[in-house]
Amino acid sequence: MEKKEYNVKIVGVSLAVLYATWCLVFLQYLNIPGFEEYTFLYGVLFGVLFVVSLAIVALKEWGRKMLIVINSVMLVFLAARYIPGVDLIPLGYVILSIIVLLYFTQPKIKRRFLSEKVGAWNKSILIVDDDETIIKTLRPILLSHGFSVLAAGSGEDGLQIINAQKPDLVLLDVILPGIKGREVCQRMKENPQTRDIPVVFLTAKDSLEDIQAEKGVGSVGHITKPVDMKMLVETIRNVLGADKASKKS
């Protein structure tokens, strides 16, 4: 188990213990006169948070989202109701809610949960494109889906990164300064060390002849610019899933 995953699971277990304790405490309050207001509601709420924390331990994305939503609602409600009165116990809940929100909304934590969902963790994508706008647009999308991202602005730089770092997939433009995209792909396929790396062309050239030429040099996919982000992510998942299956067989 990686250290980052271990840390998230430890946080989840700690929250589960804390929320379970609070749930039991509020359920005990039901038997004490004068504590009827909101007591049952809080007991149920912390019971739900306990279940959500178990989902966090299992690295379920729905658990992370629910934890954020519930703590956001709690933060607003408790801050408005109790902070003016400086009630220390509810103030503790407020502080905890803030900590939870700050931790679980971090992009790197979000990627950890998404990576479990799509099987992307430690999968690296190399974008070879001389258009900085494309790279700046695609990078955060791919990162948010759990992929690590490399980038190159020319065919020569792309080949150097491919040979040195062996990315899991290459998104390759056709028109590049220096070595063109199809030649980059062809050289990859001629090299025994890189020929198994899948290549998806990302280009404005979308004629049937262009697509056939791309397949002729060894590509496994074609996405036309401007890029449909949903199609891009789906294509990458399908290609990497098929690549993983072929390696197992």
CB atoms within 10 A of CB 113: 21
Alpha carbon distance 51, 60 (integer Å) = 12
| Mean pLDDT split into 10-residue runs, the chain, 249 residues | 67 93 82 65 88 90 91 81 58 84 85 57 86 92 86 95 94 93 95 95 88 93 90 90 50
Tokens standing for residue 55: 């989902």
Question: For position 33, what pLDDT does the model report?
Answer: 62
Question: For position 88, what pLDDT does the model report?
Answer: 55
SS3 220: coil
Question: For position 120, what pLDDT does the model report?
Answer: 47
Residues 171 and 138: beta-carbon distance below 8 Å: yes
* 123: nearest Cα among 104, 151, 142: 142
40 contacts: CB under 8 Å, gap ≥ 6: 26, 30
The predicted model scores a pTM of: 0.56
SS3 87: coil
